[in-house]
Amino acid sequence: MHVFSYFYHMRIDIITLFPGMFSGPFDQSIVKRAVEKGLLEIHLHDLRDYTADKYRSVDDYPYGGGAGMVLMIEPIAKCLDHLKSERLYDEVIYLTPDGQLYDQKVANHLSTLQNLVLLCGHYKGVDERVREHFITREISIGNYVISGGELAAAVVTDSLARLIPGVIGDETSALSDSFQDDLLSPPVYTRPANYKGWKVPEILLSGHEQKIREWRLEQSLKRTIERRPGLMENIDE
């Protein structure tokens, strides 16, 4: 008998000035579980380890003047050359507020890939030549500015970890998440059934599976129409 088994495994290399920022998000919950199960490998690379000068400097003043510092191309190129000499990367992603807005569709697509690099920017960003010659995709996690790409890279990594088959059990399948079918999730309740007169909807206590499924779909539709009507039509809101 032939047993076809697909072995899912994703490797994410993160290039950052602040590797310590990931210790919280990656040491807990789903990401931790994905790593422990051997389904996800995360490698943090401190950009300062790839500098050539004795001051270990990674940034410099912008040509033409202006406020802020710019990450230099050399340490980034050195780090990327090193990584690319060891394996093929599907995407080299730069986290930046002027990138493509991240959503579940992009997450689903990225989760099918094997090797990713996430480059975290800082200060005024990276030398434009990095973006022109090394970066294959630019991602923004929202229309606001955070202090660097680290938190954005953690968000992207978390969203991918939960999509790797085998990371989340059937009982909490990522396929039932909000956004997966362009619908928001229905409301959920747990014990007690009556909290100081605030009651759980009767239908959920009825044990009638078909009726409960219908009620949940109805609630999902209602919620989506009320809160995020553009989601169903795939319109950017």
Q: Which is nearer to ligand ADE, 44 or 183 (CB)?
A: 44
Q: Which is nearer to ligand ADE, 158 or 181 (CB)?
A: 158
Shortest approach of ligand ADE to residue 232 CB, angstroms?
25
Closest CA to 101 of 145, 142, 155, 135: 142
Kindly tell me which residue out of 6, 7, 144, 198 binds ligand ADE, with binding defined by CB under 6 A. 144
Kindly tell me which residue out of 51, 57, 108, 140 binds ligand ADE, with binding defined by CB under 6 A. 140
Measured distance CA(145)–CA(129) in Å, rounded: 22
Query: Judged by CB under 6 A, does residue 95 bind ligand ADE?
Result: yes
- Let me know: does 157 contact 12? Beta carbons within 8 Å: yes
Helix, strand, coil tally for the chain in percent (to 5): 40, 20, 40
Query: Judged by CB under 6 A, does residue 186 bind ligand ADE?
Result: no
Measured distance CA(181)–CA(166) in Å, rounded: 20
Query: Judged by CB under 6 A, does residue 224 bind ligand ADE?
Result: no
Shortest approach of ligand ADE to residue 179 CB, angstroms?
18
Q: Which is nearer to ligand ADE, 101 or 205 (CB)?
A: 101
For residue 59, how many other CB atoms are within 10 A of its CB?
18
Please count the residues of the chain.
Answer: 237
Q: Which is nearer to ligand ADE, 121 or 186 (CB)?
A: 121
Kindly tell me which residue out of 80, 152, 174, 184 binds ligand ADE, with binding defined by CB under 6 A. 152
Query: Judged by CB under 6 A, does residue 142 bind ligand ADE?
Result: yes
Residue type, 51: T
Query: Judged by CB under 6 A, does residue 75 bind ligand ADE?
Result: no
Q: Residue written as tokens 């406020």? A: 67
171-203 as b/e, with b when 16 or more CB fall inside 10 Å?
Answer: eeebeebbbbeebbebeeeeeeeeeeeeebeee
Query: Judged by CB under 6 A, does residue 198 bind ligand ADE?
Result: no
Query: Judged by CB under 6 A, does residue 141 bind ligand ADE?
Result: yes
Query: Judged by CB under 6 A, does residue 97 bind ligand ADE?
Result: yes
Query: Judged by CB under 6 A, does residue 96 bind ligand ADE?
Result: yes
Q: Which is nearer to ligand ADE, 75 or 121 (CB)?
A: 121
Measured distance CA(234)–CA(237) in Å, rounded: 9
Catalog residues that contact ligand ADE under the rule CB under 6 A.
95-97, 121, 140-142, 144-146, 149, 152
